[in-house]
């Protein structure tokens, strides 16, 4: 009941809970066998808990490829945070040495299974390839591919009011308009998630050392 049962007005007097100051959230989310997951982290649907481990390699989150991909309904191996500001960056470091051929691991700006922008490392014929992929409805477009000299790379998504830029080792390699994964275009109600993911062949996994979110 609002306003004592009277008509709603622009300004209403009401009791509130006591104010309580909270420290600003850490910009880097880290992992440890001795602590619970950061409260900002979410899965997609009900997680397959065996695909996640903070114990397998202390100081990392081991994420194992499951039966689902980001394009599927259900629960792919995904760990994400909500985009909470227009200007925001999200990133991590991926080592693809533990991926099997045909598998990929990376980060995504995710509105839903049919609308997301990804930057990932793909294992193909024993080589590691950095790849930017756009999923828009029934269309999947590979925007950029760069063969890597090593299995390890730093990947970042940088959001602004107009677009999402995709960074590889600090260098921008692709950019896409933000409107195509907005609620107005894609529908939905959750808003954008930034998330780390791994998908592909059984036995593939990556150890995530941190997730960094700034802005």
The pLDDT score that the predictor gives to residue 41 is 97
pLDDT value, residue 163: 97
* 47-87 pLDDT, tens digit each: 999 999 999 999 999 999 999 999 999 999 999 999 999 99
Residue 190 has pLDDT above 90, yes or no: no
**pLDDT, mean of residues 185-191:** 86
Q: What are 174's two structure tokens?
A: 């692709």
Tell me the pTM: 0.90
Residue 38 has pLDDT above 90, yes or no: yes
- Calpha distance 13→191 (Å, rounded): 31
User: Can you give the pLDDT at residue 164?
Assistant: 98
The tokens describing 194, both together, are 């930034």
Q: Under CATH, which number does the domain 25-214 receive?
A: 2.60.120.200
Quick one: average pLDDT of 162-188? Answer: 95
pLDDT at 35 over 90: no
Residue 189 confidence class, pLDDT cut points 50, 70, 90: confident
Here the tokens at position 132 are: 């930017």
Domain range list for the chain: 25-214
- 82-124 tens-digit pLDDT: 999 999 999 999 999 999 999 999 999 999 999 999 999 999 9
Question: How confident is residue 188, by pLDDT bands cut at 50, 70 and 90?
Answer: confident
């Amino acid at each position: 009941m609002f306003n004592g049962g009277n008509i709603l007005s622009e300004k209403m007097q009401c009791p509130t809970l006591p104010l309580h100051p909270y420290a600003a959230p850490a910009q880097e989310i880290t992992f440890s066998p001795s602590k619970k997951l950061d409260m900002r982290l979410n899965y997609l649907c009900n997680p397959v808990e065996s695909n996640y481990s903070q114990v397998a390699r202390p100081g990392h989150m081991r994420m194992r490829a499951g039966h689902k991909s980001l394009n599927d309904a259900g629960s792919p191996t995904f760990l994400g945070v909500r985009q909470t500001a227009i200007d925001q960056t999200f990133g991590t470091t991926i080592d693809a040495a533990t991926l099997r051929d045909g598998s990929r691991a990376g980060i995504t700006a995710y509105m839903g299974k049919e609308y997301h922008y990804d930057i990932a490392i793909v294992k193909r014929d024993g080589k590691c390839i950095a790849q930017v992929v756009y999923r828009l409805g029934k269309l999947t477009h590979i925007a950029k591919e760069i063969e890597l000299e090593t299995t390890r790379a730093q990947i970042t998504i940088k959001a602004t009011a107009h677009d999402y830029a995709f960074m590889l080792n600090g260098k921008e390699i692709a950019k896409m308009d933000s409107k195509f994964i907005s609620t107005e275009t894609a529908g939905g109600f959750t808003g954008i998630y930034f998330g780390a993911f791994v998908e592909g062949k059984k036995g593939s996994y990556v150890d995530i050392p941190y997730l960094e979110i700034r802005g």
